[in-house]
Amino acid sequence: MKVYLLTIGDEILIGQVIDTNSAKIAQMLHGIGGVVVEKSAVADDEHAILDMLRRGLQLADVVIITGGLGPTKDDKTKTALAHFFGVEMVEHMPTRKFVEDLYRQHKREITPAVVQQWMVPANATVLFNKMGTAPGMWFSQDGKVVVSLPGVPYEMQYLMENEVLPRLHKHFDGTHIAYRTILTSGEGESTIAKMLEPFEDALPENITLAYLPRIAQVRLRLTVRGQDPKANEALLKQKLEEMLRLLPTELVASTEDDVLESAIGKLLRQKGLTLATAESCTGGYLAHLITSVAGSSDYFKGSVIAYANEVKMKVLGVRESTLAEHGAVSEQTVREMVQGALRVLGTDLAMATSGIAGPGGGTPEKPVGTVWIAVGNNDQVKARIFHFRRDRERNIQYAATYALEMLRRFVNRT
């Protein structure tokens, strides 16, 4: 099943809103054998919408449109679809009742613009949207399908899960797809690919291996396609075990579809350990990554953002002589920051970062991108210097991610 994704809205094209819907839809389609062949974004312009709709139907079996279903004059999707199929707009009474009841409940006026929410092209199969006032729409013609969904992400997701995916699965006899993901950390994509080259070369035609790199980590996704779900799962399990045998144990952070901060959270919870951070150059970004994981309060107790030297001294107990002799960006300073965080926040483990994120502040001895990271407990502290030498934002991101990787290895080795 080939799918073309079309996102509608001026706000997408000018960068005011990021199109997260396309990525989410592609992920959801993958599970039922849907393959996105192309995605496009167009302005709130009927001619542009019609041009892209025609293109989509030439390339794919299914066109999924998001956006342009609101009640204002700049929302053109429904009228464009009506013109495309050569039908008139009609009232959809269940949607009208739902919207009127909703507006009465909240004591809001039903304006002429709101009336447009229950007007749909006459040939549409309406997909009831209990999450909002704009219904989804399903069109089927000459064996092809057009789906129109609201652009609001949670409304789109509700309709995809409850209406669109079941209908597509029934409409098209899709190939079953199964996949598993391994998270590796600490080596780059090319190194991992070299380790797995013989394995990848010997894979059957219905199995693919994808490399999904991020900072200091690579997700490896094995995908199996076939008509028999049980056979797919058995083959996938076999190949996953073969792949794991080729990877050094210390590189495998998770055998699930995780990111590093999530995998570390599971590790800390499993071992019953608590964590704190002491951050200078990362300015709280490390704590942000940790707390982006639901349930992180089980193991993460807090952070000291010791950006200024006086905070390092007064809160964390870094000695003035250490700063004077070695500087804030030094092994000695991050070691004392770890010890201070352990003491102040009373945790089993702590991480510390101190560096020069840029764009200014660098010296020949310590250029921009120089970062010291330390991790430890009350028995030992490990410290390491990094030279990232990127822009400010990426220096911060790299520092936080490598700190997490150092923590993962520290926990696994102690």
Mean pLDDT of 178-185: 92
pLDDT winner (highest mean) among 124-128, 219-223, 254-258, 338-342: 338-342
- Report the pLDDT value the prediction gives residue 116, as an integer from 0 to 100: 84
* CA distance linking residue 20 with residue 29, whole number of Å: 15
Confidence band, pLDDT 50/70/90 cuts, at residue 173: low
Confidence band, pLDDT 50/70/90 cuts, at residue 347: very high
Q: Which DSSP helix (H) or strand (E) runs through 86?
A: none
Dump pLDDT digits (tens) for 269-309.
999 999 999 999 999 999 999 999 999 999 999 999 999 99
How many angstroms separate the first and last alpha carbons of the chain? 49
**175 has pLDDT over 80:** no
Going from N- to C-terminal start, the domains of the chain cover 2-171, 176-254, 260-413
Confidence band, pLDDT 50/70/90 cuts, at residue 130: confident
Confidence band, pLDDT 50/70/90 cuts, at residue 174: low
What the block records as the tokens of 387 is 């030279």
- Report the pLDDT value the prediction gives residue 248, as an integer from 0 to 100: 96
- In CATH, the number for domain 2-171 is 3.40.980.10
- Report the pLDDT value the prediction gives residue 295, as an integer from 0 to 100: 96
Task: Give the residue ranges of DSSP H helices in 272-369.
Answer: 285-291, 309-314, 320-326, 331-345
Q: How many contiguous H segments (helices) and E segments (strands) does the chain have?
A: 16, 17
**241 has pLDDT over 90:** yes
Find out if CATH 3.30.420.40 is the number for domain 176-254.
no
Confidence band, pLDDT 50/70/90 cuts, at residue 218: very high
Query: Mean pLDDT in the chain?
Result: 93
Phi and psi at 178, nearest 5°, equal -130, 145
CB crowding 293-324: b at 16 or more within 10 Å, else e: beebeebbbebbbbbebeebbebbebeeebbe
Mean pLDDT of 204-216: 91
In which order are the strands placed within the sheet that holds 252-254?
Answer: 207-214, 217-226, 176-185, 252-254
Dump pLDDT digits (tens) for 356-371.
999 999 999 999 999 9
Sign of CA dihedral 307, 308, 314, 318: positive
What's the predicted TM-score (pTM) here?
0.74
Mean pLDDT of 379-395: 95
- Report the pLDDT value the prediction gives residue 222, as an integer from 0 to 100: 94
Same fold, 176-254 and 260-413: no
- Report the pLDDT value the prediction gives residue 112, as an integer from 0 to 100: 84
What the block records as the tokens of 53 is 């709709």
- Report the pLDDT value the prediction gives residue 341, as an integer from 0 to 100: 98
* CA distance linking residue 69 with residue 95, whole number of Å: 13
Confidence band, pLDDT 50/70/90 cuts, at residue 147: very high
* CA distance linking residue 158 with residue 326, whole number of Å: 56
Structural fold of domain 260-413: Maf protein (3.90.950)
Which one-letter DSSP state was computed for residue 76?
-
